[in-house]
Amino acid sequence: MHPPTRNLSRRRQLLLAAGTALCAAGFAALPSQASAVTKTFGDGDGRRITFDVGASVSVGLYGQVLANAIHGGEIEDVTIRIVSQSAIRRLCGQGAAACYSPTRRGAQITIPNIGAERVKSALLHEYGHHIDATRRHRRDAQGLDGTQRWWSARGMGAKLNTRQVAYDYSRGWSRSIGEIYAEDYAWLNGGGGRYAIGWLSQPSQSILNAMRRDLNAPAQAAQPGNSGGPNRLDINRRGVLAPGKVWSVPFGLRGLGRRVTATVKVRNGGGTRTVSADVVCNGRRVATKTGNRKNLVHVNRANLGPADCKLRVRSHRQAVSFNVTLTLRR
């Protein structure tokens, strides 16, 4: 996902992608635009790149950006939707300049109609989410996780173990593994502009070579598991709360029609009012639940987004240990 600046250099806020949108990611199909037509562009290897655009929009230069980027057969499973710049906020969320979203037919990238050169870095970044979503995930992944050789070359395992990065956005946009991968993909393909991950150096030649080796291999479908694929993100947390204290985890919803579910399991609770949980989006509480006799709290809320949100867990009268599973779906 790509917040705007004056020239689309990549200064970003806390977002979810997956696609991501993930960020990444966005996690839902977006509504069709009025008077849209479908146009296609050949990538030079017999594959079609599909665009959903206004009748007067020429797709040639946009198509050439993707045709020149490293890709495989997954390019036929995404639609590039080009809309007015004023529509981006409504479709992708406040602060976003572009977004990636799974749909029932595959996936969709939404970008503004401001010229292929100005939007090139955003388009490549969002396509990086598509690359990520259509490759095999690590067995223990809890979100988009890049590709195998890139993971090793970037030292992601060590960074994850020391909490420098996360699968989700709990440590901020720039520390989401999926966003780092998408930014590295854009850099690999000459996205230009400023490298947006401010705390991390731009990818070295060895990292770029590792990505090339990953992407020149045949694509493998993402496997089901903790990551849930591009349509779902699971966030798992645990902690201890003192009486009357509140714990929270932030997340973003980039697109319409998202579902948020959360389960809080209290390990040493003392009844139905031990803990409660609520979801707050754009400063407004949209769901709240208290515990049941099994010391469980269930929150289930559909039709949310775009929004910046957080899940809050509150201990009412005693110190408790808890586990949280937060699931975001399209």
The predicted model gives 203-226 an average pLDDT of 75
- The pLDDT assigned to 272 comes to 59
Helix (H, G, I), strand (E, B) or coil at 31: coil
Geometric angle at alpha carbon 330, from 34 and 254, rounded to 5°:
70
With cut-offs at 50, 70 and 90, classify the pLDDT of residue 55.
confident
- The pLDDT assigned to 257 comes to 81
| pLDDT reading at 189 higher than 50 | yes
Residue 44 or residue 294, greater confidence: 44
Has this prediction a pTM greater than 0.75? no
Element (H, E) at 300: strand 296-304
Segment of 10-24, 157-171, 227-241 carrying the highest mean pLDDT? 157-171
Sign of the CA dihedral running 190, 8, 231, 86: negative
pLDDT in tens, 145-160: 999 999 999 999 999 9
| Domains of the chain, residue spans | 17-216, 231-329
d(CA 324, CA 239) in angstroms, rounded, equals 9
With cut-offs at 50, 70 and 90, classify the pLDDT of residue 37.
very high
With cut-offs at 50, 70 and 90, classify the pLDDT of residue 256.
confident
Q: Which two tokens stand for residue 79?
A: 């639609």
* CB distance 320 to 266 below 8 Å: yes
| pLDDT reading at 3 higher than 90 | no
| pLDDT reading at 2 higher than 70 | no
* CB distance 110 to 84 below 8 Å: no
pLDDT in tens, 277-323: 999 998 899 999 888 767 788 899 998 887 878 899 988 877 888 88
% of the chain with per-residue pLDDT over 70:
82
Domain 231-329 has CATH 3.40.50.720: no
The predicted model gives 176-193 an average pLDDT of 94
- The pLDDT assigned to 254 comes to 66
| pLDDT reading at 248 higher than 50 | yes
Kindly give the residue spans of alpha helices, DSSP state H, lying in the chain.
19-22, 60-68, 85-92, 116-133, 148-153, 156-161, 177-188, 205-216
